[in-house]
Structure formats: structure tokens, C-alpha cells
Structure 1
Amino acid sequence: MTSRHHEERLTAVLDVVRQSGAARVLDLGCGDGDLFVRLVEDPRYEELVGLDICRASLDRLRGRLTACELRVPRLDLREASMTEPPPDLAGFDCALLVETIEHLDPGHLSKLEQALFHRMRPRTAVITTPNADFNPLLGVPPHRMRHPGHRFEWGRAKFRAWCTRAAAAAGYAVRIDDIAGQHPDFGGASQMAIFRSDVATAPTTVA
């Protein structure tokens, strides 16, 4: 994916976080911190936690933070899995999963749903993931994925179905947007789901 699409994706996520009024934010699967280093320089946030299973990525992020103007009172970086989060990560204002779910084994998505929407249960959750419908415009051959670390890539219909079901089961409302480029037929290079618990009904029971 081009750097222009990457910047557009980060801008879209940051806009949602700011509009949500969040003060306490989780960056789940923060990696090297392309999003985190932008968050730490914004004084509107009171607490930021970055979580990743890769120690090397967290070390690189720590190095990047030394060059940032840290304007957030409480910062924490943790080596842990988003599917088995520490109990103290429950109840944050906002949780961000930016281009991370596609790195999970599809069989572990149910564990992510339980961890994110039922245990951590942030007021707002933002998930972005590659839009496989857009792949031909990036020169990605059929039956291939954009990155060797991706375990799956969903088109817009499949992502919408997963988000709609997960939101209904957990009592969230969800909005889905195309981001990072626009095409009349293929949408954006990425797709973004915004889940909110403060405008939804009670969760349904899923067998």
C-alpha cells in the first residue's frame, strides 16, 4: 500500500478518536507506533496504552518516543496479546485496531470479539483492515494478499457482515466507511468500522 494511503488511513482514525471525545485510549497491535507517536503529542488525551505481542516492535516504538514531544500524562507500552488482554484494560474510552485483525488466524477472531467487545468493552472501538476488493488497483494478483504476514483479507461485503454480527451480539452500534483512497466500484484501499456502545441496544445472544 502506498504511503499516501497509509497517511490517509491514520488521519481517518485520528479524526474518529478526536470526535469521540476519548481521554483514555488503547492502541491494540500498536506495532512500531505510526499511530501512537501521533497520539502522544496531543494533550487532549489523559492515558495511552500501546499493546503488541512483538517485543522488537515495542522497542522500536520506545526509540521513536524519545524524539516526540510527550504531552500525555500517562503512557504505557505492554507486550501482550489483544485476544488475552490484562484485566485493567477494561473500560477505556476508545480502542484502536489499525490494520491488525488480518494478522490473526481466522480461527482466533471469536477470541478477539470476546476480548474486545465483552471484556475490554471500550465505549468506542475503531477497526481498520485492508479492503480486498481494492487489491487489483494495487497490482495484487488474484488469490494473493498484500503482505506475507496477513492471514486473510476481506472484501467489503464480508467485513460488513462480520462487523454487523459482532456489534449486534455485543450491544454496539456500528458504522462502516471506505478510507484511504476512493473508487466508485472498489471503495478504498482500507475499510474502517466504528463501534459505539453508548448509542446501541442491549446485546443479543449468539448461539
Structure 2
Amino acid sequence: MTSWLHRQRLEAVLAAVRGCGARSVLDLGCGDGDLLALLADEPQIERLVGIDLSQEALARLRTRLGTKLTETAGRIAIVHGSLIEAGPRYAGFDCAVLVETIEHVDPARLGSLERAVFATMRSATVVVTTPNAEFNALLGVPLNRFRHPDHRFEWDRPRFRQWAEGVAARNRYLVTCSDIAGNHRDFGGASQMARFVRQEVEVSEAP
């Protein structure tokens, strides 16, 4: 994907994080840190954790962050592991982001991902982006291929919206979906974003 589309995607996610006023952020599937490096420069974020399965990517991220990892002890943590198995130790964050991550998960494990992110971690805001399959033709991607060999699926906008609305309904979130990284009249953006906001359940006192 061209670099300007990638920048647009990062800017859209960064705006969503800023918009929810998050002071603690989980970057799930952070890779080598294109987003996390930007989040590290956000002064309002007091705790930032990046989790990824790739040791190589995390090594590049640590090099990229350099002294930022040690300048403020405990503010930034880089964790090697599966976001699906991260567990309740990462519950209670203001915001979790999954940037171009879910398409790397086998569809049979999406239920496990949903439970981990939306039922166990249960951040107040969750931001998810994934490629928009409708846009592939504009990128020269053949119909029988995905954008990246590690992708397990790529969804069009109706399918992504269906998944997002189902996740929201099952886990007491509200969700809005939008095009990002482009705005073609027919095909939307190169990526698509769902912004989930947790709904607090008010318990009425018994009369």
C-alpha cells in the first residue's frame, strides 16, 4: 500500500485515541510500532503497552523507541505474546487499538479474539481497522489474492459492519464504522475502521 494511505490510516486511529481522551492505551498487534511510536509522543498518555507475537518486529520497535523506553520508567511496555491470550492483566485500559490486525487471525479464532478484547480486557474504547476488500482493485490486487500473504481474510464493508455490530451487541458496546485512507465514491477507503464505546450498565436500586 502506498505510504500516504498508510499515513492516513495512522492519523485516523490517532485522532480516535485523542478523541476518547485516553490516558492508558493498548496497541494489540503493534508490530514494529508505526502507531505506537506516534502514541509514545502523546503527552496525555500515561501508560502504553504494545503486544505482538513477532520477536523480530518487537526488536525493531525497541530500537525505534530507544531511550523513550527508559526515560519514564513504567510508562511504555513492549510485550511478546498473543493478544488472544493476554488475559485480565490488561483489563481496565481506556483504549485498545487493533490496527490491521484481525485479518491476520484465523477466522475460527475470531470468537476467541472477541472474548479476549471485548469481554476480558474490556477497554472503554476499542478501535479496529482492517483492509477494505472493495478497494483492492484500485491497488492492483488480483481477485484471487489478498494484499499480504499472511492475511487470513479480507472483508468488504458490509461484512465488516456485520461483524462489528455483532461484537458490539454481544458485549454491550456501541459501534460506528467509517472509511479511512481514501474516499472513493464506489469503493470507499483502502481501510475501514470500527470505533467501539463501552456502555456502562446502570443498576437501579430495588424499591
TM-score (norm 1): 0.93
SS of aligned partner of 1:35: helix
Distance apart, 1:41 and its partner CA: 1.2
Distance apart, 1:163 and its partner CA: 0.3
Q: Report the equivalent of 1:170.
A: 171
Query: Partners in 1 of 2:196 and 2:81 — Cα distance?
Result: 23
Query: Partners in 2 of 1:95 and 1:86 — Cα distance?
Result: 13
Contact kept in structure 1, 2:105 and 2:152, CA below 8 Å: yes
> 1:7-44: per-residue Cα shift (whole Å, max 9, x none)?
00000000000010000000000000000011111111
Q: Report the equivalent of 1:44.
A: 44
TM-score (norm 2): 0.93
Distance apart, 1:80 and its partner CA: 1.1
Q: Report the equivalent of 1:78.
A: 79
Q: Which amino acid aligns with 1:17?
A: V
Q: Residues 96 and 168 of structure 1: is their aligned pair in 2 closer, same or farther, counting only changes over 3 Å?
A: same
SS of aligned partner of 2:147: coil
Contact kept in structure 2, 1:40 and 1:72, CA below 8 Å: no
Query: Partners in 2 of 1:200 and 1:12 — Cα distance?
Result: 29
Name the count of aligned residue pairs: 202
The answer for unaligned runs of 5 or more in structure 1 is: 203-207
Q: Report the equivalent of 1:181.
A: 182
> 1:85-105: per-residue Cα shift (whole Å, max 9, x none)?
132100100000000100011
Q: Residues 200 and 174 of structure 1: is their aligned pair in 2 closer, same or farther, counting only changes over 3 Å?
A: farther
Alignment of 1:23 onto 2:23: yes
Distance apart, 1:198 and its partner CA: 3.6
SS of aligned partner of 2:83: coil
SS of aligned partner of 2:6: helix
**How much is the aligned-residue C-alpha RMSD, in angstroms?**
1.9
Q: Report the equivalent of 2:111.
A: 110
Identity %: 54
Alignment of 1:96 onto 2:86: no
Query: Partners in 2 of 1:172 and 1:201 — Cα distance?
Result: 14
Distance apart, 1:157 and its partner CA: 0.6
Q: Report the equivalent of 2:63.
A: 63
Query: Partners in 2 of 1:20 and 1:71 — Cα distance?
Result: 23
Q: Report the equivalent of 1:205.
A: none
